[in-house]
Amino acid sequence: MLNAQEALQRLKEGNERFVTQMTQQELASEKRRLNLLEGQSPFAIILGCSDSRVPAEIIFDQGLGDLFVIRVAGNIVAPSQVGSIEFAVETFGTPLVVVLGHNSCGAIKATLNAIKNPEQEPSHNLMSIVSRIRPSLETLVETDLQHNEKDLMKFAVRANIRTSVSQIRYSSPYLETQIQSGKLMVVGAQYSLEEGKIHFFEG
């Protein structure tokens, strides 16, 4: 198993191949699929958004058995996501968690709209997502960013990613212990829909 820094480097190199269209074609081959019948050992956990334009395996140029992917609108952190991360870390020894957000995120837009227009409350189920994103965006809406929609959206996406990273780091005693012992690293990252490039927020 790779360590966290090696896993992070492998993701960066994979994204570079994706951007330059030098992808590895054998990643989903029959041989690879059959080699995984007895089990898996993913080297990274990706908590990403459900957006159809941001499929983790493709944009990181990884294949069958490489990534343990959790997708939910707005890349939010709820008990089920934390439990899934705990499972992968404990079962497979996966050393890296990446919270992957992206620009033009619909969940972020819905949250900003709910903050600005409280009379237009989303459906009950959508509200369960909005309510998890909202705390990290409320202070942004009160700044001068409220007059610049583009910049507000940019900073809102980043704030939500950083909040999710913090929640993973500190909402689970088990994960916190793994991080403190150096066995696990949690970082944020943002995917650019225009460039195909992933920018990592380390530290």
Is 124 labelled as part of a ligand binding site?
Answer: no
For 146, what's the count of Cα atoms within 13 Å in the CB-facing half-sphere?
12
Look up residue 186 and give its two tokens.
């949690």
CA 128 to the chain's CA centroid: 18
Is 151 labelled as part of a ligand binding site?
Answer: no
Tokens 């809406």 locate to 141
| Longest CA–CA separation in the chain, Å | 55
Q: Do residues 185 and 4 make contact, with C-beta atoms less than 8 angstroms apart?
A: yes
Look up residue 16 and give its two tokens.
């570079």
Is 49 labelled as part of a ligand binding site?
Answer: yes
- Binding site: what residues are annotated? 49, 51, 102, 105
- Binding site for Zn(2+): what residues are annotated? 49, 51, 102, 105
